[in-house]
C-alpha cells in the first residue's frame, strides 16, 4: 500500500478541509442544538462533487478513487458527523448501489440528481424487530399485476425525512436472506409515511426516521437487482459503507487530537501548561496512536477496493477499530479538557456523543467481530 497521497488526492483533501472549515465547523454546534443541519449544505456538497465521488462521470458522478472518497469523509467527520453521515448514506449506500446494480433507466433517473445534491437517498433495511439479524426483516413485497405492494415498518433510517428516494428491502419470497428484494421507492409515494426520531445522544443534526409503508405501490421497474437478490446487494453495499463510517471516525479522532493538543498547550495548572504533565501527554499519545492506526486501516480498505481485491474483512476490521478508537479518542479528549470538556463550548463533548453511534450502526462491534472471526476460522458463530 502506497502511504503517499497523489497530488490529485491531496488536492481533494485540501478542498474538503477548506469546505468544512468554511461551511460546516462554524455551524456544527448550532445544528446540533437545533437538531437539524441547514438543508442548503446538500446542494453545496453536490456542487463540489462530494455527493458523486467514485460514481463514474458517465452516470452523473464525479469519479475519483476510494482513497479520495475516504479523505473527504474524514474531513467531513472532523467537521460534523451529521453531515458525514448524510453523504455516507446518500452516496455510499444508495447512489453506489444504483451505480452497481441499477438498470440504465434507474441510473439515469436517480444518479444525476443524487450526485448533484438535487436529491438525497436513504437506505431502509433496519426494522423494529430486525437490526443485527437483518435477514429476519418482515416488510412484505407482494406482486399485484405488473406492480409490487410494499407493507411494513423501518426504523432508525438516516436521511429518512429528507430523502427523495428510499432503497427499501422487503420480503418478496420465503424466510431467510434469499427471500429479500430491494426496491427504489420515491418518498412521496402514496402510503409511505415518515416520522423523525428525536432525542438522539449524538448525530442530532441528522434526520433519523421511522418509515411506515402501507401498501406502497411501485412498478417492477423500481426493483433494484434481481428478485431475491436484495440481501446480497445490502451486504456488498454495507461492506463499502463500513469503510466510510470508519473514515468518518478517523475525522472524529483527528479532531479530538487537534483540540486536545491545542487546549493542553494553553491551559495552565500547577504553574505550567497541562501539556507538561506526563499523564496528560499519555492521553494525547493514546489519541494520536488511535487516530493514525485507524487511518491506516481505512486506507488499506480503499487501496484494496481500488485494486479490485477482496476487502470485506478488512472493512470490518477498519470499522471495528476506527469506531472504538473514535469513542476512546473522544473520551480521552474530554479528559484533557477537564470540566470544560463536559460543556458544549468546546467540540469534544459533541465528538464523544457523535462517535458513540459508530460502534452500533452498519453492524455493531460484535457483528464485526463475528464477521472477522468467521473469515479467520470458516466457522459461522452468529
| Chain residues that interact with ligand FAD, rule: CB under 6 A | 89, 123-126, 131-132, 156-158, 200, 203, 208, 357, 360-362, 364, 366-367, 370, 382
d(CA 115, CA 53): 8
- The nearer residue to ligand FAD, 203 or 218, going by C-beta atoms, is 203
d(CA 237, CA 224): 13
- Of 43, 361, 76, 57, the C-alpha closest to 201 is 361
C-alpha cell at 186: 420515491
Buried b (16+ CB within 10 A) or exposed e, 211-231: bbbeebebeeebbbbebbbbb
What is the enclosing helix (H) or strand (E) of 217?
Answer: strand 208-219
- The nearer residue to ligand FAD, 118 or 360, going by C-beta atoms, is 360
- The nearer residue to ligand FAD, 92 or 179, going by C-beta atoms, is 92
d(CA 58, CA 165): 21
Compute the least distance from the CB of residue 128 to ligand FAD, in Å.
8
Q: Is 57 a catalytic residue?
A: no
- The nearer residue to ligand FAD, 24 or 357, going by C-beta atoms, is 357
d(CA 360, CA 106): 31
Compute the least distance from the CB of residue 105 to ligand FAD, in Å.
25
DSSP state of 129: T
Rounded-to-10 torsion of CA 315, 316, 318, 321: 180
Compute the least distance from the CB of residue 367 to ligand FAD, in Å.
6
Contacts of 303 (CB under 8 A, 6+ apart): 1, 2, 66, 67
C-alpha cell at 371: 464477521
Compute the least distance from the CB of residue 46 to ligand FAD, in Å.
19
> Is 38:98 a contact under the CB 8 Å cutoff?
no
For the annotated catalytic residues, the residue numbers are 362
Amino acid at each position: 500500500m502506497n502511504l503517499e497521497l497523489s497530488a490529485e488526492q491531496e488536492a481533494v483533501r485540501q478542498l474538503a478541509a477548506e469546505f468544512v472549515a468554511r461551511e460546516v465547523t462554524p455551524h456544527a454546534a448550532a445544528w446540533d442544538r437545533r437538531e437539524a443541519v441547514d438543508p442548503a449544505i446538500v446542494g453545496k456538497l453536490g456542487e463540489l462533487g462530494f455527493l458523486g465521488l467514485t460514481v463514474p462521470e458517465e452516470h452523473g458522478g464525479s469519479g475519483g478513487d476510494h482513497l479520495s472518497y475516504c479523505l473527504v469523509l474524514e474531513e467531513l467527520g472532523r467537521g460534523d458527523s451529521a453531515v458525514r453521515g448524510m453523504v455516507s448514506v446518500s452516496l455510499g449506500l444508495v447512489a453506489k448501489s444504483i451505480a452497481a446494480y441499477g438498470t440504465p433507466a434507474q441510473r439515469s433517473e436517480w444518479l444525476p440528481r443524487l450526485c448533484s445534491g438535487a436529491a438525497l437517498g436513504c437506505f431502509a433495511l433496519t426494522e423494529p424487530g430486525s437490526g443485527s439479524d437483518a435477514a429476519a426483516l418482515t416488510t412484505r413485497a407482494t406482486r399485484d399485476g405488473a406492480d409490487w405492494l410494499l407493507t411494513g415498518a423501518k426504523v432508525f433510517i438516516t436521511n429518512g425525512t429528507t430523502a427523495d428516494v428510499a432503497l427499501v428491502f422487503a420480503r418478496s419470497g420465503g424466510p431467510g436472506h434469499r427471500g429479500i428484494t430491494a426496491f427504489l421507492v420515491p418518498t412521496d409515494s402514496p402510503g409511505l409515511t415518515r416520522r423523525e426520531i428525536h432525542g438522539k445522544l449524538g448525530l442530532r443534526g441528522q434526520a433519523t426516521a421511522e418509515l411506515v409503508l402501507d401498501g406502497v405501490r411501485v412498478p417492477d421497474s423500481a426493483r433494484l437487482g434481481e428478485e431475491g437478490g436484495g440481501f446480497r446487494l445490502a451486504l456488498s453495499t454495507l461492506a463499502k459503507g463500513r469503510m466510510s463510517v470508519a473514515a468518518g471516525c478517523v475525522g472524529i479522532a483527528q479532531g479530538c487530537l487537534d483540540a486536545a493538543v491545542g487546549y493542553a498547550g494553553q491551559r495552565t495548572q500547577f504553574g505550567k501548561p497541562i501539556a507538561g504533565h506526563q499523564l496528560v501527554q499519555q492521553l494525547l499519545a493514546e489519541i494520536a496512536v488511535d487516530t493514525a492506526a485507524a487511518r491506516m486501516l481505512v486506507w488499506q480498505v480503499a487501496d484494496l477496493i481500488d485494486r479490485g481485491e477482496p476487502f470485506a474483512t478488512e472493512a470490518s476490521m477498519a470499522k471495528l477499530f476506527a469506531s472504538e478508537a473514535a469513542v476512546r479518542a473522544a473520551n480521552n479528549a474530554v479528559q484533557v479538557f477537564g470540566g470544560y470538556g463536559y460543556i458544549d463550548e468546546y467540540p469534544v463533548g459533541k465528538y464523544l456523543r457523535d462517535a458513540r453511534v459508530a460502534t452500533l450502526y452498519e453492524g455493531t462491534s460484535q457483528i464485526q467481530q463475528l464477521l472477522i472471526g468467521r473469515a479467520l476460522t470458516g466457522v459461522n458463530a452468529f
